[in-house]
């Protein structure tokens, strides 16, 4: 009895792969190489004169050849799609190259602006601008020295003004003292008046 079950199990397991695969060339999303390997795997073998042969069903071969034909017919469409994609990418590359050249021109223009200075609406090189600015600084220093010299000359002749200033300062001090005295008298009178009203 055990032998019977064992033989039945072996027979069923031997026929299962063939039944499981069915027509291996009917797989839609299976690569061609895998379909071919599966067709060879499920085919029957026989030997003749030391050579091994495979007996493949005609239906499997026809379906496999149809799949090969379908795959080959898709390649021109795929090539066309890739060519269109290549053309689109080339356009993007050309547009990007144009943008890069525009940016390079802008960078060169900005570098030129950076290396020059605008003074009174005119563009000067930085060296020329520096020379002009130092000339102006030196000119202003000379004018300052001339002004200081003339101030010293004016200070020497201003002794009379100093005397008048001293007189005016003395008069101002006397005026301030008299004003302070008047102010103190007015405060006393105001306080006396406040005290009378409160009393």
3-43 pLDDT, tens digit per residue, is: 555 545 544 444 434 334 456 666 566 777 888 888 888 88
pTM exceeds 0.85 for this model: no
CB within 8 Å of 46: residues ≥ 6 apart: 52, 53, 55
Using one digit for the tens of pLDDT, what is the confidence trace for 74-108?
A: 888 888 999 999 999 999 999 999 999 999 999 98
């Amino acid at each position: 009895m055990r032998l019977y079950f064992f033989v039945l199990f072996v027979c069923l397991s031997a026929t299962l792969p063939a039944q499981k695969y069915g027509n291996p060339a009917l797989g839609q999303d299976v690569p061609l190489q895998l379909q071919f390997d599966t067709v060879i795997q499920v085919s029957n073998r026989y030997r003749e004169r030391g050579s091994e042969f495979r007996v493949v069903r005609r239906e499997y071969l026809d379906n496999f050849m149809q799949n090969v034909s379908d795959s080959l017919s898709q390649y021109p469409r795929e090539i066309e799609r890739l060519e269109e994609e290549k053309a689109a990418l080339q356009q993007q590359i050309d547009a990007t190259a144009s943008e890069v050249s525009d940016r390079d021109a802008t960078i060169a223009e900005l570098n030129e602006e950076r290396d020059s200075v605008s003074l009174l609406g005119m563009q000067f090189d930085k060296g020329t601008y520096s020379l002009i600015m130092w000339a102006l600084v030196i000119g202003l220093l000379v004018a300052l020295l001339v002004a200081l010299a003339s101030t010293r000359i004016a200070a020497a002749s201003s002794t009379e003004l100093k005397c008048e200033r001293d007189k005016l300062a003395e008069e101002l001090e006397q005026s301030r003292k008299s004003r302070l005295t008047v102010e103190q008298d007015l405060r006393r009178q105001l306080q006396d008046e406040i005290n009378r009203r409160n009393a």
